[in-house]
Each structure stands twice: as C-alpha cells, then as structure tokens.
Amino acid sequence: MAVGVFDSGLGGLTVLAALERRLPEVEFVYYGDNAHAPYGVRDADDIFALTCAGVERLWQEGCDLVVLACNTASAAALRRMQETWLPADKRVLGVFVPLIEALTERQWGDSSPPREVALRHAALFATPATVSSRAFQRELAFRAIGVDVEAQPCAGLVDAIEQGDMILAEALVHSHVEALLRRMPHPEAAVLGCTHYPLMEAAFRAALGAGVAVYSQPDLVAESLADYLDRHPDMLGRGQRAFLTTGDPAGVSRKATQFMRRGIAFAAAE
Ligand code: DGL
C-alpha cells in the first residue's frame, strides 16, 4: 500500500515527515530528482518533462497515487499533466490546493464558487518559476474574491538549502522578506510556497514579525491527503517504503539525514 511523493530534491521530505506522522499505516515511496534540482529556475516545458519522468518512475514502484510535494512542479506542470497526460487509473495531487483551501477557510475538496473571505493581503514566498506561473493566484481566484497577493521570488534560497549553507539561507530569507514588506507592508498571512522553506520557517517568522500568520504546507497537505484517502481508498497502490534519487545516493542520504535529523538512506532511481 504505497503512495508516491515527488520532489525536485530534498524539500519534499518536510511534506513526507508530516504524511508519515498523520498516516502511519500508509507506506510512502519518495522520489527526489536531485540531479536536476533546483526546478525553480527552469522553464515550464522542462519542469513538465522532468516531473512526468519522476511520476512514471513512481508508477513502476506500484504508486497509482502520487503527491507532487513540490510547488514548482505543481505550479508549472500539474494542470498540463492532468489535462493531457495522466491515464484514467492514476492520480497526481499537488500541494497548492490544500494550502489555498486552508487560507480561504474551506473544507478539503470544497469546489463551490469563489466567495468573500476575511483575508485581504497575502504574501507569497516561492521559487521564481512558481511566482511566474501565477498558479497560486489562479487557484486562489477559483475560491476567494478580493484577496490581494504580493509574490516574492526567492532566488537562490533553494540552492542554499540544498547545499546545506544555512547562514546564506537565513540571510536570503531576511532580504526576500524585506523586499516583499516594502511592497506590502502589512500582510495578514504569509505563505511558504516551496517545500524547502519549512526548513527555514523560524527565520521567516522572525523576519515577518509576530502579527503575520505563517502558512506552511506539510501538515495541511497531510490532512488533505488523509481526507482524500478516506474518500478514495482504492488509490492506495502496491509497493513498499523507499527513497529514490536521481542524484548521488550517498551524498543525498547524508544531506537528508542532516536536514531531517534522522537516518535516511536513498537508493539510485535508475
Ligand atoms: N521544493 C520545491 C518547491 O516546492 C522546488 C524547489 C526547486 O527545485 O527549485 O517549489
């Protein structure tokens, strides 16, 4: 009974940890495309091709349902995958929709028309590819009216995190938050729209100050997947827990262990 978890690299491990806590009876197969990370500076065609290749690899592991634990892939590729590529017996879910449902105080999976919500000013921190896709604004507009979104492309941040350079990552968080606050001085909510950013959540909170509600994805995605699996128990595939990477398994395992503070052993995806 396995569900696939896809990310461009290590960031999706923050989502995986929440999935494992919330759904201990489910096995997860994690696929990190570390050889091609970061995705945030790639174009949409490239991200689509790489994401499809990773999802196909997870199908081979018996995962009929795959969570794209990567905002960049969810933003740049998911809609196209669902509309043009996905076979009828497979499902791919993204990480934007649960976040937006939480932000707009909706029940999971509520697809009723957009309505007025309490939120007026939202800050989005994400990769350059996610910001330029405008997928967040598009999905938000399906659900809420009158929310002003200011988006900050956080250039360099995923690279610094993947390289384990936390001093640089912290400095980048502060400068990106300052840049956003110059354009939107009083957001009520800030969205960490990249699965790497929960690793820097404390720095985002410190830079934003106490008055801003910070929305981080892992627990929201886990709650929404639990609800999805209640409604679609047939989507629990075959397969067994595994960690796959397109990068160097030894190096990726070392960094993953350092980030997550527990032993994680990756195998080569090929
Ligand atoms: N962690 C991913 C995301 O949520 C991708 C980061 C990247 O590869 O640039 O956007």
| Cα 75 to Cα 113, 131, 144, distances in angstroms | 21, 9, 18
Span 253-268, average pLDDT: 93
105 and 66 within one domain = no
pLDDT of residue 93: 95
Q: Is the shortest distance between the CB of 245 and ligand 1 below 6 Å? A: no
Domain boundary among 181, 198, 215: 215
d(CA 127, CA 184): 18
Q: Same domain, yes or no, for 69 and 32?
A: yes
CB 139 within 8 A of CB 166: no
- Based on the domain organization, do 19 and 87 belong to the same domain? yes
Decide: 160 and 168 in contact? Cβ < 8 Å: yes
Neighbours of 217 (CB within 10 A): 26
Instruction: Say which CATH number the domain at 76 has.
Output: 3.40.50.1860
The pLDDT score that the predictor gives to residue 1 is 65
Residue 194 Cβ contacting ligand 1 at under 6 Å: yes
Q: How far is CA 88 from its chain centroid?
A: 24
- The residue segments making up the domain with residue 105 are 97-215
| Among candidate residues 106, 95, 123, the one with its CA nearest the CA of residue 12 | 95
**Cis ω for the linkage preceding 187 (within 30 of 0):** no
Q: How many helices (H) and strands (E) does the chain have?
A: 12, 12
Hey, which of 41, 194, 200 would you mutate to test ligand 1's pocket, going by the most ligand atoms within 8 Å of its Cβ?
Answer: 194
Residue 235 has pLDDT above 90, yes or no: no
Q: Reply yes or no on whether the pLDDT at 68 is more than 70.
A: yes
Structure tokens at 63: 């995962």
- Residues involved in catalysis: 70, 194
Among left, alpha and beta (phi > 0; psi -120 to 50; other), residue 39 is alpha
pLDDT tens track for 92-149 = 999 988 999 999 888 878 888 898 899 999 999 999 999 999 999 999 999 999 999 9
Ligand 1 centroid vs 46 CA: distance in angstroms? 14
Q: What is the rounded CA–CA span in Å between residue 70 and residue 94?
A: 8
- Answer yes or no: are the C-beta atoms of 70 and 8 closer than 8 Å: yes
Last residue of a domain, one of 180, 199, 215: 215
Calculate mean pLDDT across residues 157-184: 95
Closest ligand 1 atom, CA of 12? 1
- Asked if 134 and 195 sit in the same domain, the reply is yes
**Cα–ligand 1 centroid distance for 249 (angstroms):** 19
Name the burial class of residue 232, with classes exposed (0-12), middle (13-18) and buried (19+) by CB atoms within 10 angstroms of its CB: exposed
Question: With a 6 A CB cut-off, is 199 part of the ligand 1 pocket?
Answer: no
pTM of the model: 0.92
User: Is residue 7 lining ligand 1, measured as CB closer than 6 Å?
Assistant: yes
Pocket probe mutation, ligand 1, options 78, 127, 130, max atoms within 8 Å of Cβ: 127
CA of 8 to the centre of ligand 1 (A): 6
Tell me the two tokens of residue 167.
């001093």
Is residue 101 located within the same domain as residue 135? Answer: yes
